[in-house]
Amino acid sequence: MLFKRKFVFDKALGRTVEITSEGTKPICDELSKEAGQRRVTLATKSRTRAKWPRESMAMAVNPEDVRAAAEYARKHGVPTEYTKTGEPILTSHEHQRRYCRAMGYYERSSYDSPRNR
């Protein structure tokens, strides 16, 4: 059972009034006291800077094809290193954009999306 305090706005008084039942108030008080002692971090939507370089599992190639993929990228003007498992190591957003174009990938939510070209 979830215990919550209940409030309503009283137009006559012009303010919010608590209507929590008398049996629930002590439980809510105890829960709020415990919650105040715990440290809770809220998930906030904040924009952080991208961390470069990074590896992309989504654009990985077969480990046997790493040499051929590196050669293909170099021929298309995007020299790219790969991990042993085939993930390309992208060094910047510009590098990622150029690599995606050369390999036929795109970010759906970016200005480089084919629907935005």
* Cβ proximity of 112 and 101 under 8 Å: yes
Token readout for 56 is 């992309």
pLDDT category at 28 given cuts 50, 70, 90 is: confident
The answer, yes or no, to whether residue 42 has pLDDT greater than 60, is no
Beta strands in 1-79 (DSSP E): 7-10, 15-18, 54-55
The answer, yes or no, to whether residue 45 has pLDDT greater than 80, is no
Round to whole Å and give the CA distance between 79 and 90: 10
pLDDT category at 57 given cuts 50, 70, 90 is: very high
Round to whole Å and give the CA distance between 63 and 82: 9
pLDDT tens-digit readout, 8-17: 888 888 888 8
pLDDT at 29: 80
pLDDT tens-digit readout, 63-102: 999 999 999 999 999 999 999 999 999 999 899 999 999 9
pLDDT at 48: 66
Round to whole Å and give the CA distance between 95 and 80: 9
pLDDT category at 1 given cuts 50, 70, 90 is: low
pLDDT at 14: 87
When the pLDDT of each residue in the chain is averaged and rounded to a whole number, the result is 84
